[in-house]
């Protein structure tokens, strides 16, 4: 079976068919696509990228590869409004959706600004495809409630580390050559440093990052990690930063939080994040938090290699997540795969895998999505789940008070959860099962939906 | 039998350079003048335009002539509002985006392509939004939707959710001028050249030709490249091809005409070895059919509606593949190297293009309109007032 896929966004196409830079809207579809492509390679499934499937009158026009007898499958990793079908093929959309309902023209006011493109009606857009793959049960249930069918939970596979993960308890400080290797491609700064350099607030290069981690561990501190895109209104950074700061002030001044910010350092710099983007996000969620006033938080931005990310995950003790809603939450799962214990709400996507066995579960309250986030999609009456600063602080305190055995048990459970539900070994049978079912249907049913779309012209 | 009046929106004829949609409008106008002069009303915005001026414009004075006469009120003959009074079925024909909605008893819109929806990055952001909204509104308010290709029809049904029974296809036509290909091709004085067609804009994908020349500059030793097309938007010719035109081998072998008249274009195409049309996406592909009708061999993209135009499979290439383009270009270069071969190909293309006529294009539209009118109950004579007309019943539920 030939499997076509498309991933490039309209913006990337405009910029000479390149890929979107880190942190810009929809870039995570590229990350998910990369994970599936690796899986398909391992499964020996031939894949061909179609940058612009919409231009072909039929899959037969794509090229010699498509001259086979069976209809191909076209898998899209794209935001809803960027769906473009490959005519005649079996079109699947792999989508991420985190809110409790979908934008629909039926619910939008007549003159809403999103009514400028037919695919801004996400219910309509999803109705165009033959099948939908989603990253979690929450999304599947939301789509089913909207009347959509043929929705399958097939999450992006998570790589498990090759080498054994370090043990818990009285571990030695990780001061080895790897920790001294500078990370040249990133900028990193503690907010207080930026304040001190107000006249020339250039952040330092990343060579200090792992030394800071080592320093923290020398002083008996715990390392917390959080990774998010600051542009994304769901990430709720206010309680995350304030809750951690409160914890350090009250109890453990040696603990340290590394916040890996998903901006590329080019379109948005660390300064933009510190001075504009994060304060705006904190304001939106009604938190006023002075980022300039914390010594225990290091902000990092820029592209890090897989090896560097692996090192960062392995250096962390806990992963702190305060997100209001997630479609899968890849960084959290990647951290868990390396034995990092989540401190996270068990809502939306996390409801599938965050439990007290493998995590510190933060309580979260169901709340209406605030206006600036909802209006970006033309979303009405949607809900999400917010955690409070107080609960973040309490969660962190619970985490650091775990004894060695309890911590080890959670680490092992975290690794086991990812291995069981999100590893390549876990996802491969799901994909194989779906592709096999599709192949069977395509072979046996000439009136398949893919065919129904091929309407005869009426002259 | 219901009395029918056809109201044609002639606003596309305001353009100074008539390509594409103005030409389609002119052809519909000419057909109506020839077949239903008494039942035809031309309008431009809120005004009715005198048919004699439309006739002069479409027959002998395209461009700014009609616009000037309308703007000076010379060609106007009362209001559309008044013209709608009376006992007849008013059929609104919209050759492009509808300037008014639900004014006529039956409204028919022609949709040429959905590139503003499917390829918004190929338009300016303002234009993409404006056209996308207009298409959504037009589909929602039209009784009949004419698409100029099967590809467009499929897109309209799929992406705009139009009801299939309302959407039909009428391929565009072209002018079949007298051909004397033999005499034209024997001109030794004309150096061999390839014509690259298309307005200079991203969707026309002329960059592919540029990349081809960059990858094989020696091709300029054998053949020159003549780019025919008016300036559009985005990177312009000098930006796209500046480096090529500075290459010693390609200097004076890669030329740009900017806008040319129909007559000039025809002459250039007749003398060309062959033409290339690498567009990423088309609603129909009028330039390809025009080439065919002139007997000019052409290679074009295996995309959107272009595969409906009846070229040999070997004349198509993937517009995103430089390798495929190079292969197809090479094949056509070989195929047209000998005059005799090229002449045979020319005759075959002319024959194939003969199915695309403007008469057939408009007839299919009129047939569909008349079929629809025939399904209506006979019109009850009544004098419609201005206010009641605003509430004209919808002809089709």
Do A137 and A73 lie in a common domain? yes
Do A323 and A440 lie in a common domain? no
Average pLDDT over residues B307-316: 95
Interchain pair B159, A459: CB under 8 A: no
pLDDT at A173: 45
Do A109 and A183 lie in a common domain? no
According to CATH, the topology of domain B4-173+357-376 is: Rossmann fold (3.40.50)
Average pLDDT over residues B45-57: 93
Cα B170 from chain centroid (whole Å): 12
pLDDT at A170: 45
Is A457 inside any structural domain? no
Interchain pair A128, B159: CB under 8 A: yes
Of A44-58, A254-268, B214-228, the range with the lowest mean pLDDT is A254-268
Say whether residue A85 is in contact with chain B using an 8 A CB cutoff. yes
| Domain of residue A301, CATH code | 3.40.50.2000
Interchain pair B160, A115: CB under 8 A: no
Residue of B132, B301, B364 lying closest to A459 (CB–CB) = B364
Do A138 and A230 lie in a common domain? no
pLDDT level of residue B33 (50, 70, 90 thresholds): very high
Query: What's the structural domain count of chain A?
Result: 2
Of A221-230, A289-298, B356-365, the range with the lowest mean pLDDT is A289-298
Of A13-17, A63-67, A355-359, the range with the lowest mean pLDDT is A63-67
B8 beta partners: B42, B93
CA distance to A6, A299, B192, per residue, from B226 (Å): 34, 55, 10
Is A167 inside any structural domain? no
Residue of B154, B316, B321 lying closest to A455 (CB–CB) = B154
Q: What is the rounded (10 degree) CA torsion for B48, B49, B55, B58?
A: -100
| Domain of residue A83, CATH code | 3.40.50
Pull the structure tokens for residue A203: 């952040």
Say whether residue A84 is in contact with chain B using an 8 A CB cutoff. yes
Element spanning B197, H or E: strand B193-197
Closest CA to B228 of B270, B180, B188, B191: B270
Indicate whether B187 pLDDT > 80: no
Is A206 inside any structural domain? yes
Whole-number CA gyration radius for chain B: 23
CA distance to A7, A175, B29, B70, per residue, from B13 (Å): 41, 77, 10, 11
Average pLDDT over residues B258-262: 85
Do A119 and A241 lie in a common domain? no
Say whether residue A110 is in contact with chain B using an 8 A CB cutoff. no
Residue of B nearest to A54 (CA): B118
Average pLDDT over residues B132-146: 97
For B91-113, what is each residue's pLDDT tens digit? Answer: 999 999 999 999 999 999 999 99
User: What is the nearest CA distance from A455 to chain B, expressed in angstroms?
Assistant: 7
Do A152 and A288 lie in a common domain? no
Q: What is the mean pLDDT of chain B?
A: 89
For A367-376, what is each residue's pLDDT tens digit? Answer: 999 887 888 8
Give chain A as a 3 state SS string.
CEEEEECCCHHHHHCCCCCCCCCCCCHHHHHHHHHHHHHHHHCCCEEEECCCHHHCCCHHHCCHHHHCCCCCEEEECCCHHHCCCCCCCEEEEEECCCCCCCCCCCCCCCCCCCCCCHHHCHHHHHHCCCEEEECCHHHHHHHHHCCCCCEEECCCCCCCCCCCCCCCCCCCCCCCHHHHCCCCCCEEECHHHHHHCCCCCCCEEHHHHHHHHHHHHHCCCCEEEEEECCCCCCCCHHHHHHHHHHHHHHCCCCCEEEEEECCCCCCCCHHHHHHHHHHHHHHHCCCCCCHHHCCCEEEEECCCCHHHHHHHHHHCCEEECCCCCCCCCHHHHHHHHCCCEEEEECCHHHHHCCCCCCCEEECCEEEECCHHHHHCCCCCCCEEEECCHHHHHHHHHHHHCCCHHHHHHHHHHHHHHHHHHCCHHHHHHHHHHHHHHHHHHHHHCCCCHHHHCCCCCCC
pLDDT at A166: 58
Do A401 and A439 lie in a common domain? no
Global pTM?
0.89
Residue of A nearest to B304 (CA): A57
Asked if B343 and B274 count as a contact pair (C-beta separation under 8 A), the reply is no
pLDDT at A229: 87
Interchain pair B121, A455: CB under 8 A: no
Asked if A262 and A230 count as a contact pair (C-beta separation under 8 A), the reply is yes
Do A44 and A63 lie in a common domain? yes
Pull the structure tokens for residue B210: 């540029």
Residue with tokens 């431009």: B44
pLDDT level of residue A284 (50, 70, 90 thresholds): low
More confident residue, B275 or B66: B275
Q: How far apart are CA B22 and CA B288, in angstroms?
A: 17
Indicate whether A65 pLDDT > 90: no
CA dihedral over B136, B142, B146, B150, signed as positive or negative: positive
Interchain pair B121, A116: CB under 8 A: no
Range of the domain at A242: 177-421
Interchain pair B157, A84: CB under 8 A: no
Q: How far apart are CA B10 and CA A433, in angstroms?
A: 57
Is A42 inside any structural domain? yes
Of A60-74, A402-416, B120-134, B243-257, the range with the lowest mean pLDDT is A60-74
Asked if A160 and A419 count as a contact pair (C-beta separation under 8 A), the reply is yes
Interchain pair A116, B129: CB under 8 A: yes
Asked if A345 and A354 count as a contact pair (C-beta separation under 8 A), the reply is yes
More confident residue, B160 or A440: B160
Is A171 inside any structural domain? no
Q: What is the mean pLDDT of chain A?
A: 84
Do A199 and A242 lie in a common domain? yes
Residues from B in contact with A at Cβ < 8 Å: 117-121, 129, 132-133, 136, 150-151, 153-154, 157-161, 164-165, 167-170, 202, 280-281, 301-305, 307-308, 316, 318-321, 324, 364
pLDDT level of residue B233 (50, 70, 90 thresholds): confident
Closest CA to B135 of B157, B151, B150: B157
Do A382 and A445 lie in a common domain? no
- Contacts B324 to A, Cβ<8 Å: 63
In chain B, list all ranges with CATH 3.40.50.2000: 4-173+357-376, 181-353
pLDDT at A77: 95
For A173-218, what is each residue's pLDDT tens digit? Answer: 454 555 555 555 566 666 655 555 544 555 555 556 777 788 888 8
Indicate whether B358 pLDDT > 60: yes
Is A31 inside any structural domain? yes
Residue with tokens 């002329």: B206
For A220-274, what is each residue's pLDDT tens digit? Answer: 899 999 999 888 888 888 889 889 988 988 888 889 999 988 876 666 777 777 7
Interchain pair B281, A54: CB under 8 A: yes
- Mutating which of A118, A125, A126, A453 best tests the B interface, going by the most B Cβ atoms within 10 A? A118
Interchain pair A87, B308: CB under 8 A: no
Is A216 inside any structural domain? yes
Interchain pair B164, A118: CB under 8 A: no
Do A56 and A138 lie in a common domain? yes
Interchain pair A10, B120: CB under 8 A: yes
Is A267 inside any structural domain? yes
Residues whose CB is less than 8 angstroms from the CB of residue B55 and which lie 6 or more positions away in sequence, other chains included: B29, B30, B33
CATH class of B181-353: alpha beta
% of chain A residues with pLDDT over 70: 78
pLDDT level of residue B129 (50, 70, 90 thresholds): very high
Q: How far apart are CA A206 and CA A192, in angstroms?
A: 16
* Phi-psi map region of B167: left, alpha, beta (phi>0 left; psi -120 to 50 alpha): beta
pLDDT level of residue B190 (50, 70, 90 thresholds): low
Indicate whether A80 pLDDT > 70: yes
Q: What is the rounded (10 degree) CA torsion for A124, A130, A134, A138?
A: 60
Closest CA to A83 of B353, B16, B159: B159
Do A357 and A373 lie in a common domain? yes
Say whether residue A54 is in contact with chain B using an 8 A CB cutoff. yes
Q: How far apart are CA A361 and CA A357, in angstroms?
A: 9
**DSSP secondary structure letter of residue B236:** -
pLDDT at A21: 62
pLDDT at B288: 96
Residue of A nearest to B360 (CA): A459
- Mutating which of B125, B317, B318, B366 best tests the A interface, going by the most A Cβ atoms within 10 A? B318
Element spanning B268, H or E: helix B262-271
pLDDT at A261: 85
pLDDT at A193: 55
- Mutating which of A18, A54, A91 best tests the B interface, going by the most B Cβ atoms within 10 A? A54
* Phi-psi map region of A117: left, alpha, beta (phi>0 left; psi -120 to 50 alpha): beta
């Amino acid at each position: 079976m030939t499997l076509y896929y498309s991933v490039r966004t309209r913006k990337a196409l405009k910029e000479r068919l390149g890929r979107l830079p880190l942190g810009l809207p929809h870039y995570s579809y590229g990350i998910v696509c990369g994970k599936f492509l690796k899986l398909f390679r391992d499964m020996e499934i031939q894949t061909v990228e179609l940058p612009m499937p919409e231009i072909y009158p039929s899959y037969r026009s794509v090229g010699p590869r498509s001259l086979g007898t069976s209809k191909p499958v076209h898998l899209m990793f794209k935001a809803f409004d960027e769906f473009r079908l490959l005519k005649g093929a079996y079109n699947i959309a792999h989508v991420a959706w985190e809110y409790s309902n979908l934008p629909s023209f039926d619910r939008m006011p007549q003159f809403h600004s999103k009514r400028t493109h037919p695919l801004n009606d996400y219910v309509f857009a999803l109705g165009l495809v033959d099948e939908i793959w989603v990253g979690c049960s929450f999304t599947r249930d939301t789509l089913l409630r909207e009347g959509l069918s043929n929705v399958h939970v097939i999450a992006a596979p998570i790589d498990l580390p090759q080498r054994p993960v370090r043990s818990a308890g009285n571990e030695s400080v990780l001061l080895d050559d790897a920790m001294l290797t500078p990370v040249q491609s990133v900028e990193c700064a503690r907010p207080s440093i930026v304040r001190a350099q107000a006249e020339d607030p250039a952040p330092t290069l990343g060579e200090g990052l792992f030394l800071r981690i080592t320093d923290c561990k020398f002083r008996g501190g715990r390392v917390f990690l959080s990774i998010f895109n600051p542009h994304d209104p769901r990430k709720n950074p206010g309680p995350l930063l304030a809750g951690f700061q409160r914890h350090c002030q009250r109890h453990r001044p040696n603990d340290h939080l590394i916040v890996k910010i998903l901006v590329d350092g080019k379109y948005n710099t660390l300064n933009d994040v510190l001075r504009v983007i994060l304060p705006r996000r904190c304001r939106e969620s009604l938190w006023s938090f002075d980022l300039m006033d914390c010594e225990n938080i290091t902000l990092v931005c820029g592209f890090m290699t897989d090896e560097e990310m692996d090192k960062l995950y392995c250096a962390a003790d806990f992963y702190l997540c305060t997100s209001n809603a997630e479609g899968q939450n890849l960084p959290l799962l990647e951290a868990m795969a390396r034995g990092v214990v989540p401190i996270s709400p068990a809502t939306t996507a996390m409801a599938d895998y965050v439990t007290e066995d493998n995590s510190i579960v933060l309580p979260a309250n169901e709340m209406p999505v605030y206006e600036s986030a909802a209006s970006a999609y033309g979303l009405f009456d949607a809900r999400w789940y917010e955690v409070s600063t107080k609960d973040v602080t309490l969660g962190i305190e619970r985490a650091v008070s775990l004894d060695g055995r309890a911590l080890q048990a959670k680490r092992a459970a975290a690794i086991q959860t990812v291995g069981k539900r999100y590893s390549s070994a876990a996802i491969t049978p799901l994909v194989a099962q779906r592709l096999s079912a599709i192949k069977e249907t395509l072979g046996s049913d000439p009136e398949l939906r893919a065919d129904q779309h091929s309407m005869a012209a009426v002259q | 039998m219901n009395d029918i009046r056809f109201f044609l929106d002639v606003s596309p004829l305001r353009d100074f350079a008539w390509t594409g949609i103005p030409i389609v409008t002119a052809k519909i106008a000419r057909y109506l003048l020839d077949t239903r002069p008494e039942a035809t009303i031309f309008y431009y915005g809120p005004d009715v335009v005198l048919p004699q001026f439309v006739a002069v414009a479409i027959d002998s004075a395209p461009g700014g002539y009609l616009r000037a006469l309308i703007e000076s009120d010379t060609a106007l003959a009362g209001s559309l509002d008044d013209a709608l009074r009376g006992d007849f079925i008013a059929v609104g024909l919209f050759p492009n985006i509808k300037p008014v909605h639900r004014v006529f008893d039956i409204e028919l819109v022609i949709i040429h392509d959905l590139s503003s929806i499917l390829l918004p990055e190929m338009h300016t952001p303002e234009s993409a939004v404006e056209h996308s909204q207009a298409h959504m509104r037009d589909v929602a308010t039209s009784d009949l939707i004419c698409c100029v290709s099967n590809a467009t029809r499929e897109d309209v049904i799929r992406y705009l959710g139009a009801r299939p029974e309302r959407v039909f296809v009428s391929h565009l036509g072209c002018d079949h001028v007298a051909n004397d290909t033999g005499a034209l091709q024997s001109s030794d004085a004309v150096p061999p050249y390839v014509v690259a067609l298309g307005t200079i804009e991203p969707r026309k994908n002329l960059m592919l030709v540029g990349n081809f020349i960059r990858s094989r500059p020696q091709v300029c030793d054998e053949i020159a490249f003549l780019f025919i097309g008016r300036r559009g938007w985005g990177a312009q010719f000098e930006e796209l091809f500046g480096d090529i035109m500075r290459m010693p081998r390609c200097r004076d072998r890669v030329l740009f005409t900017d806008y040319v008249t129909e007559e000039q274009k025809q002459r250039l195409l007749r003398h060309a070895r062959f033409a290339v049309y690498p567009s990423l996406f088309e609603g129909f592909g009028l330039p390809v059919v025009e080439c065919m009708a002139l007997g000019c061999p052409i290679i074009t993209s295996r995309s959107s509606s272009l595969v409906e135009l009846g070229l040999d499979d070997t004349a198509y290439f993937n517009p995103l593949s430089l390798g495929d383009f190079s292969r197809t270009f090479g094949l056509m270069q070989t195929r047209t190297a000998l005059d005799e071969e090229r002449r045979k190909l020319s005759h075959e293309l002319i024959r194939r293009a003969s199915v695309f006529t403007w008469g057939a294009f408009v007839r299919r539209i009129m047939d569909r309109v008349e079929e629809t009118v025939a399904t209506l109950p006979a019109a009850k004579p009544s004098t419609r007032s201005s206010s009641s007309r605003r509430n004209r019943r919808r002809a089709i539920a």
